[in-house]
Amino acid sequence: MKKNFLFSFLLAVAVVISIVSFKNISPQQKLPVPDADNAGLTLPSGFSAMIVADNIGEARHLAVTKEGNIYVKLGGVKNGNGILYLQDENNDGKMEKKTGFADYGGTGMALKNGFLYASSNTDVYRYKLNDKDEVEQANQPEKIISGLLDHGEHNSKSVTLDNDGNIYVNVGAYSNSCQEQDRVPGSMGIPGCPILDSAGGIWQFKSDKEDQHYGDGVHYATGLRNVVGLDWNQQTNALFVMQHGRDQLHDLFPKYYSTKQSAVLPAECMYEIHKGDNAGWPYIYYDQIQQKQILMPEYGGDGKKSADKKYLDPVEAFPGHLAPDGLLFYTGNQFPEKYKYGAFIAFHGSWNRSPEPQAGYFVVFVPFKDGKPSGKWEVFADGFAGEKQLSPGSAKHRPCGLAQGPDGSLYVSDDSKGTIYRIMYKK
Partner 1 sequence: MNKIIILGFLLMPFSLLLKNQGDNEIPITHSQSLKDGEAVYNKYCISCHQADGGGVPHMAPPLIQTKYVLGDKEDMIKIVLNGLKGVEINEQTYNNPMPPLGSVLKDKEIADVLSFVRNSFGNKASLVTVSDVKEVKIKQGKQ
Binding mask 240-259 for partner 1 (x = CB under 8 A): -------xx--x--------
Q: How many CA atoms lie within 13 A of 115 on its CB side?
A: 21
Using the rule CB under 8 A, is 113 a contact of partner 1? no
Helix, strand or coil, per DSSP, at residue 344:
strand
Site size toward partner 1 (CB under 8 A) is: 24
Interacting residue with partner 1 among 37, 182, 210, 302 (CB under 8 A): 182
* DSSP string over 92-155: SS---EEEEE-S---S-EEEETTEEEEE-SS-EEEEEB-TTS-BS-TT--EEEE------STT-
Q: Which of 98, 183, 305, 396 binds partner 1 (CB under 8 A)?
A: 183
344 DSSP β-pair partners: 328, 365
Q: Applying CB under 8 A, does 194 fall inside the site for partner 1?
A: no
Cβ atoms of 61 and 52 closer than 8 Å: no
Given 34, 57, 68, 75, the residue binding partner 1 (CB under 8 A): 75
CA distance 421 to 224: 30
Please check whether residue 180 is in contact with residue 192, taking contact to mean a CB–CB distance below 8 angstroms: no
Does 392 sit near partner 1 (CB under 8 A)? Answer: yes
Give the C-alpha separation, 393 to 368, whole Å: 34
- Which residues, 129 to 148, sit near partner 1 by CB under 8 A? none
Letters for 350-369 (x = contact with partner 1 by CB under 8 A, - = none) are -xx-xx--------------
Name residues contacting partner 1, limited to 371-390 (CB under 8 A). 390
How many Å is the Cα radius of gyration of the chain? 22
Q: According to the binding rule CB under 8 A, does residue 181 interact with partner 1? A: yes
Minimum separation from the CB atom of position 19 to partner 1 (A): 44
Q: Which one of 137-145, 178-186, 212-220, 309-317 is the stretch in contact with partner 1 (CB under 8 A)?
A: 178-186
Sole binder of partner 1 in the list 81, 155, 158, 293 (CB under 8 A): 155
Residue 280 to residue 299: CA distance in whole angstroms: 12
Kindly list the residues in this chain that would bind partner 1 in the complex (CB under 8 A): 75, 152-155, 181-186, 247-248, 251, 351-352, 354-355, 390-394, 416
